[in-house]
Each structure stands twice: as C-alpha cells, then as structure tokens.
C-alpha cells in the first residue's frame, strides 16, 4: 500500500447531516423571502395607498378630468 493512510471518512449519519443542512436552509430561505416581500413590497404599497387617500377629494379629481376632456358623456370645458 502507498505510504500514509487517508483519514477515515464519515460512515454514519449522512442522511441526517444532509437533511439538517437542507431543512435549516429551506426554513431560512422561505421565511426570509416572505419577510422580504412583506417589508419590500406589501408595506410600502399599503403606505402609498393610505397617503393617496388621506387627502383625496373625488370631486376635485372629477373636475380636473372633466376639464381635460376625457369623458365621453360629460361635455368638456377646454382647459
């Protein structure tokens, strides 16, 4: 035999080791992506909507659109 023995490889618990690695990773990635979406997309969107509707006046909005002439059933006043 050639000089120097190789270190004994791991003989047991191979599935356990792999399963633990992947379970932990899967948990972190799924929870992480959920949190990322919540705080990257959902919360800003909710804030944007509340901000928009806080001081929204539908009548003023209507008058602006009417002045621009986008309605078919409302005669427009040229702006």
As a whole number of angstroms, the distance between CA 53 and CA 28 comes to 36
Tell me whether residue 16 or residue 52 sits nearer to another protein (CB atom): 52
- Nearest distance, CB of residue 38 and another protein, angstroms: 17
Place of tokens 């002045």: 67
**Residue numbers 36-55 binding another protein by CB under 8 A:** 45, 48-49, 52
Query: 23 vs 41, which CB is nearer to another protein?
Result: 41
* Residue closer to another protein (CB basis): 32 or 61: 61
Q: Cβ distance 65 to 77 under 8 Å?
A: no
Token look-up 């023995």 returns: 5
Contact criterion met (CB below 8 Å) for 69 and 78: yes
Residues that bind another protein in the complex, under the rule CB under 8 A:
45, 48-49, 52, 61, 64-65, 68-70
């Amino acid at each position: 035999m050639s000089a120097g023995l190789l270190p004994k490889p791991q003989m047991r618990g191979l599935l356990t080791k792999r399963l633990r690695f992947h379970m932990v990773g899967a948990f972190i990635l799924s929870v992480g992506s959920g949190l990322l979406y919540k705080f990257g997309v959902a919360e800003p969107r909710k804030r944007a909507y509340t901000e928009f509707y806080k001081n929204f006046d539908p009548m003023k909005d209507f008058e602006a659109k009417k002045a621009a002439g986008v309605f078919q059933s409302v005669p427009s006043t040229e702006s």
